[in-house]
Amino acid sequence: MKGEPIIILLVEDEEAHAEIVRRNFEISRIANRLIHVADGQAALDYLYRRNEFSDPAQSPRPGVILLDLRLPKVDGLEVLKIIKADPKLHKIPVVILTTSKAEADMIKAYDNHVNSYLVKPVDFTQFNQLMETFGFYWLAWNQNPL
């Protein structure tokens, strides 16, 4: 890490899953700031600074996006396509965090330039371990030119 706060945009419609992520990052002191939105449209509004996110001070660019696939309003795969097609956003690492183990979903995600694809474990302890490992890899060890 470069000593700068890392903003994580968590796009997750399941509040219980969002809370697990939030708690793990707090316990591990991994994230300086976690911003949670519950649907794909809100994620796009945040990234494009529209509606309630129009103030750039309140919607800083994330250092990484944790994106669920099955989202209300705008599907996660569509959000991924939009992010990776935009020259202003495409360098932001996007990590799919989903319950889907379907190979077709993985292929579509990688075809649309996802940076990583993680399947949420059903087991609470394993989910905690996944989030801790994610935090260390993407937020502490990974080098990003952003």
Looking at residue 86, which CATH number applies to its domain?
3.40.50.2300
> 44, 45, 49, 46: which is closest to 34 by C-alpha?
46
Residue 142 falls inside a structural domain: no
Is pLDDT at 57 greater than 90 in this prediction? no
Is pLDDT at 29 greater than 70 in this prediction? no
Residue 64 falls inside a structural domain: yes
Alpha helices (H) in 2-123, listed in sequence order = 15-28, 40-47, 76-85, 103-111
Residue 144 falls inside a structural domain: no
Residue 120 falls inside a structural domain: yes
Residue 80 falls inside a structural domain: yes
Q: Are 30 and 136 in contact (CB under 8 A)?
A: yes
Residue 141 falls inside a structural domain: no
Per-residue pLDDT tens over the stretch 94-123: 999 998 999 999 999 999 999 999 898 888
Domain count, the chain: 1
For residue 106, the enclosing domain spans 7-133
Q: Are 93 and 62 in contact (CB under 8 A)?
A: no
